[in-house]
Structure 1
């Protein structure tokens, strides 16, 4: 509309963006699991100390 369509990405650029997206999703999943397990870990540490 304002300046035409964006330039086409090369196969290498598409592959790099897909790998970055996969890595980001893995980080989000690991972070969610760690946040879910953190209260249990805190309880275990409190019982040990």
Structure 2
């Protein structure tokens, strides 16, 4: 990984990787919240109808 002669990652590639990681984390958190709230939403819809 840190051996001499390996390519260096450019700052643009690092920024792109950070943006992708942030988006992945946000999607995972959003998915977890939606999964937590889904039973309550289903109960509400069943009571409403």
CA deviations over 1:2-41 (Å, ceiling 9, x no partner)? xx76421000000000000000000000000000000000
Distance 2:33 2:12 in 1: 32
Structure 1: gaps spanning 5 or more residues: none
TM-score by length of 2: 0.86
Structure 2: gaps spanning 5 or more residues: none
TM-score by length of 1: 0.86
**What corresponds to 2:12 in structure 1?**
12
**What corresponds to 2:48 in structure 1?**
48
